[in-house]
Structure 1
Amino acid sequence: MIFKVFYQESVTEVPVREKTKTLFVSGESVRDVLSRIGKLGINVEYVQEVKGAHLDYEQQNNEDFKVLEI
């Protein structure tokens, strides 16, 4: 499955919506994804499963679409 992770680059700063970034990660579950990206040192806001039409939309409209396999 593919998950979209919303995050802030710094864990020491207060989250600001305008600075939220996203990345796509392949994993078995939300818990699996969180354990895999835990060592990246980012402040995770939300993890969302992406599938079907939503995944197609992200692939077509997001020029930075790359799936990390950690």
Structure 2
Amino acid sequence: MIFKVYFQETKTEIPVRENTKSLYIEAESERDVRRKLKDKPYNVEFITELKGAFLEYEKQNEEFKVLEIG
């Protein structure tokens, strides 16, 4: 499954919508996404699974690159 993760770049940064970044990651579940990102300095705001029309829409974005973190 592909998930979209919304995050701030540092855990100490207060979430501000204008500073929110996103990335795409392949994982089995939301819990798996959090496990894969636990060593990163990110302040994860929201994780959503992409499927169907939502996934096809995101694939049209030139920044769509799925991270494969073990």
Q: Which TM-score band (shorter chain)?
A: over 0.9
Count of matched residue positions in the alignment of Structure 1 and Structure 2:
69
Q: TM-score, normalised by structure 2?
A: 0.95
Other structure's SS at 2:33 match = helix
CA contact (8 A) 2:13 2:43 kept: no
Between the aligned residues of both structures, percent identity stands at 58
More helix by share: 1
What pairs with 1:5-20 in structure 2 (closer than 5 Å)?
A: 5-20=5-20
Give the superposition deviation at 1:28. Answer: 0.2
Structure 1, unpaired ranges of 5+: none
Structure 2, unpaired ranges of 5+: none
Q: TM-score, normalised by structure 1?
A: 0.95
Q: RMSD over aligned Cα, in angstroms?
A: 0.6
The runs of at least 4 aligned residues of structure 1 exceeding 6 Å deviation read none
